Amino acid sequence: MISLIADLVLVFHFCVVIFITFGFFLIPIGYKFGWGWVTNTKLRIFHCGMMIFVTLETLLGITCPLTSIENSLRGIHQSQSFIGYWINQIIYWDFPTQFFIILYCIFLGWTLLMWKLCPPRNTKGVE
């Protein structure tokens, strides 16, 4: 049962990674093609906030809370299930911390640039 909960945390973590990553590409593409959801201020604030959080935790050398929860549930540092193994391979890359610091700073810069080039619109009253 604990392994299942750990797998659910890992799947959630994977969804967070997908949300952030797809935002990098879909925001400028959607803006160009007039997709309404890419100008949603709340969504854009959430996306930018997530990118700021990821960048800061890396700069400060803090382990992602989702990683800590999963590892704590498993009592080990690697996934055991099939799903857990493959999602783990996609999410966790074996590169030096400096690589991630540079990568996250670049993508944070990209996120902020998209805020300027593809600004969100106030959607107050529109859901």
Q: Give pLDDT, residue 19.
A: 96
- pTM of the predicted structure, to 2 decimals: 0.77
Of 110, 122, 125, 121, which Cα lies nearest the Cα of 28? 110
Tell me the pLDDT tens digit for each residue of 67-113.
889 888 888 755 556 566 777 777 778 888 889 889 999 999 999 99
Q: 74 near 6, Cβ under 8 Å? A: yes
Q: Give pLDDT, residue 80.
A: 54
Q: Rounded to an integer, what is the distance from CA 88 to the centroid of its chain?
A: 14
As a whole number, the mean pLDDT across the chain is 86
